Structure 1
């Protein structure tokens, strides 16, 4: 994981408006959100794993599932997940089991971030700062 300093850190936005703006740029709300915090994710590449620019946010007014929630942005970071080749050892054979065991477990949940992704992440943050400031 590599953190990236940003002028957006600590700024507050209505979540609904922020999500509309970031979706236009290719960001999605990551699946691991809770009622008081979450992440906007930008998939930079899926070569040899997944390389994300992640923008954390925390609710400061309301809950994230409410239409009027306000959030404060945290420090952006780049995260790389590396996956094993093929199926896990415990993946069972058969159509029913295959529907549940189709994905490999991550080999490295926090793999090293390569320099080209750091540069791309910094460029994406600069674009986001221009758009939101």
Structure 2
């Protein structure tokens, strides 16, 4: 990223991400464990552009993510930490049901809703567009 033509914008976005995570108390820095039985999961940065409706660059975004795909599979139930207890309650109050096999997936009739990192994706057939739009508006209020 440091050799990217937009490195200055991404560096600034990364600093904002770290500041926001620190303010929320999301993590604390610790020494690397010496116990070889403990797994250390690496982090990765995801850098993206945000464009306006006319496709002009308006913002650089940087997100730091845990590489959960590298985590050893155990018998313990795993789920995405993205789902906050409040978001689940809002979706349940809107009539969604949690898909137990993937706690980031919610279903309401023909509408599917997925959490991915800090995004929400809503999938619907054309006949459910109005209902899906209503759900999007309700979620933006929450």
Structure having the higher strand fraction is: 1
Structure having the higher helix fraction is: 2
More relative contact order in 1 or in 2 (CA 8 Å, sep 6+)? 1
TM-score normalised over the length of structure 2 = 0.27
